[in-house]
Amino acid sequence: MIGYMNVNKRPMAVIQVEDKVKQVKVGDYMGLDFGMVTQVSDTEVQLRELIQDSAGDWSERKSSLYLQSKEGSKK
């Protein structure tokens, strides 16, 4: 996550994957594990992912992406 903004009063996160930059909002899907965005804040994107195990059974996992600090910035 490299940024955050409100568009029409809807929170959106700015995500960078390799050389591509995308905007995501609650309800969007992202990632390789069918991750659905469940919450967006100014510091975090929360996802609910579906993972398939070796037996073929599916389970849910929660994960988060956090806002990355700028390179070279002082704390």
27-46 confidence digits (pLDDT tens):
999 988 999 999 999 999 99
Residue 11 tokens read as 């929170």
Domains annotated on the chain, with CATH:
3-66 (2.30.30.830)
Q: Where are the beta strands (DSSP E) in 1-75?
A: 3-7, 10-17, 20-24, 29-30, 35-40, 44-52, 58-66
Average pLDDT over residues 65-72: 79
pTM for the model stands at 0.83
Average pLDDT over residues 55-66: 95
Whether residue 57 has pLDDT greater than 50: yes
Query: What's the pLDDT at 71?
Result: 63
Quick one: pLDDT band at residue 69, thresholds 50, 70, 90? confident
